A and B are shown apart, each in its own frame.
Chain A
Amino acid sequence: MQLSSRDFSNAHRVLKIRGLKVGLTGRPNAAAVLNGIDLDIRAGETHCLVGESGSGKSVTSLAVMGLLPKGALEVQGGAIDVEGFEITTATHSQMRELRARRIAMIFQEPMTALNPVLRVGEQIEEVLNMHTDLSQAEAKKRTLDIMEQVHLPDVERIYKSYPHQLSGGQRQRIMIAMALVLDPHLLIADEPTTALDVTTQLQILKLIAEMQERKGTALLFITHDMGVVAEIADTVSVMQNGRIVEKAPIRELLTDPKEDYTKKLLTAVPNLAPRPARAPASAKEVLEVQDLEMVYGGGGFLKRSGGVTAAQDVSFAIAPGRTLGIVGESGSGKSTVARCIIRLIDPTGGRVNVAGTDISTLSRRQLQPHRKHLQIVFQDPYRSLNPRWTVARSLCEGPINFGTSKAEAMEHAAELMELVDLPRDALKRYPHQFSGGQRQRIAIARAVAMKPDLLIADEAVSALDVSVQAQVLDLLDDVQERFGIAMLFITHDLRVAAQICDEVLVMQKGRVVEHGPAGDVLQNPHDPYTRNLIEAAPGRQWDFANFRALGTSPLNEGAPA
């Protein structure tokens, strides 16, 4: 693994933060959000800021931009110096001048970060109109030029497009073009690839590195993904609870972390090496899917249209106690398959056999008794639990619908709380009183309360921090072992798939391209698409948990990989 070992001690310092304190507006005595941040970045250097959600990474970046949410957060001490200019005392108009010229920023979600009602060309050009005296023709020329530099195809057409007409990767290229059009000396990227597929992520990371190389920009890169850090960082700062707990060059941080928290973060990164497959609890399969097909649209009232094929010829089976993972990028059809199986949508073809019955064509009423065999855990625990219901009510609703008495359901709910490691009195509380990881535990308890034969987890750990992710994966494992449930695990994250799946099925554009034991598929892929996916996984050659490159023995640790 090629870790960066560039030296920047002679480059000039672009950003210097000293003792930065940020707190709640008007409440200097409340707990600080940022508590004494020190940070330096030199020209050409990539400095990664890592930490879990709520650690203060984004607040740090917004403070540098002078964009702390008005009326909520304020700088309460310290200094932010950008090439000799003090940000914390700058006026509004000084700050405006500084933005885009000296400091620019790229955000996480390129769909929402671009204005949906303005053409993307205009949005880039606006930067030039605000900060330069270029004529309209010159501004357009410069806009098209930067769009070519970020390798957008057919720039004349894209110039006139609206954000919703572009792909996620193209939108992020537009954001990068917009940020770099005036050659700022400092670029802040706040999780710029988190919302993208791995293959797109790889392209965007390469593009950022290329642009940085060409322009000598100092880069502050915020991420929670240690894989990305290993790929791009020169220097890393680890944040926890509004403080930087450790700061080191990348190689030192990955091979010889000093702080416990850093070690914890690194060991929580799931390994890409798959787990050994487990034996099925019984030979009889719980779920058998045959030639499943889902075509959206089609038909049409006046003229026949083709429709969109979201899934085609999908066949697989799962035995009790085993986990099948479906992996693929967005739009590959993996969630469609899950939704067809649980009949949230009605498949247009094929069969779904659950415990011997084909449920794919049953009416809603006929389906009712089969529902309890199939349960699902969704991606976003903030939205999948009814915010106005207590946890107890969410947990008991299903069993009561199937004839369990209220007292019995409550008793079972209390047992489940223990199983998912939450206190019994959690039953009386509401979802907003829990953290994301706790909520996902509740969602799992809710699914398990139905005593299902098959549990579907649709990106169930994707919204969680790595350390929480590891705990939830352990919980799923535990639940599976205890009740012998079969599990269908939908994910875009190969590391997660490697941790939990016995079997993996890779989907692309609605079709299965590869299917086999996890060990075979992930370590010895046959399909070019699978190989691409695996090669795009950031930091895949690094064994984070053991602080060394993959495939090296502990003896030659520290030697260039």
Chain B
Amino acid sequence: MFSYILKRILATIPVMAIVAVFVFLLLRLTPGDPAAILAGDAATPAQLERIRDRLGLNDPLHIQFFTWIGQMLHGDLGTSLISSTPVAGMIGDRIGPTISIAIMTIIISVLLAVPMGVIAAWRHRTWVDFLVMSFSVLGFSVPVFVIGYILIQIFAIELRWVPVQGYAPLSDGIGPFMTRAILPSLTLATIYVALIARMTRASMLEVLGEDYVRTARAKGVRENVVLFRHALRNAAVPILTIIGTGFALLISGVVVTESVFNIPGIGRLTVDAILARDYPVIQAMILFTAGIYVFVNLIVDVSYSFFDPRIRY
């Protein structure tokens, strides 16, 4: 088990290295002189030379790469061209809201979607199944911002249960945090509920036809135990895959929701950086997002072996 986890961790190194090379070349291969891009239109030749020197652009390419990697490994992600603050700090400030909302979204999605999928599979081809599947289609097809605005209209403007927009960190207390995080999380959750419920249903339908489910019933096991102890654990692997991918997508793809609810997260940080051509920030964000994907995949892979003892490499 331990050696399996160690192997998986070691296997992430080449993946991250390839991403790093790509990100490094992204800036170096951009048409034109990176120093000119960085310095802006009004720079003098002397200023350009200073920037080149500071960025090490006069060194051979491989030296530049190792210098850059060295900085990255020491946690120095560079400095923003716009605000002149360290990029690491900028991400640090923005990651809290994004992660909190992503976690809450996943929790809501799993709590709703897994039972929905299980019951739909159990009551296959009945009105319950039909209802769950209809909701699933709806969840996929309505755009996120539409759901966001509808929820704001109902819960913030009509019912006045929660504020319209904004964000409060968990350190401000559970109440303020929840009232502000609940609507964005629900908004984001719709598509994931649809996705996870669908996957759970499909996976459960397959497992419910297995011999060991019949054995469990032949033992006189209660139906809820048959479903959740015997069947769901066997159906877990594809569901976990979807949840893992979903979580990683949430970290990198929450731009729209963060805009609708005016949340200072990394989605907006990325969009702002792209609009302002703030290259160090863009570079850092790509690396960071890749890191999140690799990390989440690692967690998912390791969790497979927890649910299915046959997967112990």
Contact = CB atoms under 8 A, between A and B. Distances in A.
A19 interface: no
Contacts, number: 77
A99, A117, A130, A178 pick with most chain B CB within 10 angstroms: A117
B8 interface: no
Nearest to A164: B310
Given A117-B233, A117-B308, A162-B309, A105 B218 contact: yes
B210 A65 contact: no
B interface: dominant SS: helix
A19 B228 CA distance: 37
Interface string A172-205: 0001001000000000000000000000000000
B211 A96 contact: no
Contact of A98 (B220, B223, B233, B234): B220
A101 B218 CA distance: 11
Among B222, B223, B309, chain A packs the most CB atoms within 10 A around the CB of B309
Contacts of A164: 309-310
Contacts of B220: 95-101, 127, 130-131
Given A115-B234, A116-B308, A109 B221 contact: no
B218 A67 contact: yes
A112 interface: yes
A534 interface: no
21 contacts: A65-B218, A92-B223, A96-B220, A97-B220, A98-B220, A99-B219, A100-B219, A101-B220, A104-B219, A105-B218, A113-B211, A113-B214, A113-B215, A116-B308, A116-B310, A117-B234, A118-B233, A130-B221, A162-B310, A164-B309, A178-B219
Contacts of B218: 65, 67, 99-100, 104-105, 107
Interface in B279-313: 307-310
B277 interface: no
B259 to A, nearest CB: 43
Contacts of A113: 211-212, 214-215
B103 to A, nearest CB: 26
Interface string B145-159: 000000000000000
A162 B305 CA distance: 13
Interface string A78-106: 00000000000000100111111100110
Interface in B118-154: 124-125
Interface of B: 124-125, 210-212, 214-223, 225, 229-230, 233-234, 307-310
Given A92-B223, A99-B219, A107-B218, 19 more contacts: A99-B220, A104-B219, A105-B215, A107-B214, A114-B212, A114-B215, A115-B212, A115-B216, A115-B234, A117-B233, A117-B234, A117-B310, A118-B230, A126-B216, A130-B219, A130-B225, A164-B309, A164-B310, A178-B215
A107 B211 contact: yes
Contacts of A300: none
A132 to B, nearest CB: 11
A71 interface: yes
Contacts of B229: 118
A178 B211 CA distance: 15
Contacts of A116: 212, 234, 308-310
B214 A67 contact: yes
Contacts of B211: 107, 109, 112-113
A132 B210 CA distance: 27
B125 A71 contact: yes
A71 B123 CA distance: 10
Contact of B307 (A97, A117, A178): A117
Nearest to A178: B219
Contact of A126 (B214, B219, B309, B310): B219
A127 B216 CA distance: 9
Interface string A129-149: 011000000000000000000
B50 to A, nearest CB: 50
A127 B219 contact: yes
A354 B210 CA distance: 44
Contacts of A112: 210-212
A71 B125 CA distance: 10
A92 B217 CA distance: 11
B308 A126 contact: no
A114 B307 CA distance: 16
Nearest to B212: A115
Contacts of A71: 124-125
Contacts of B124: 71
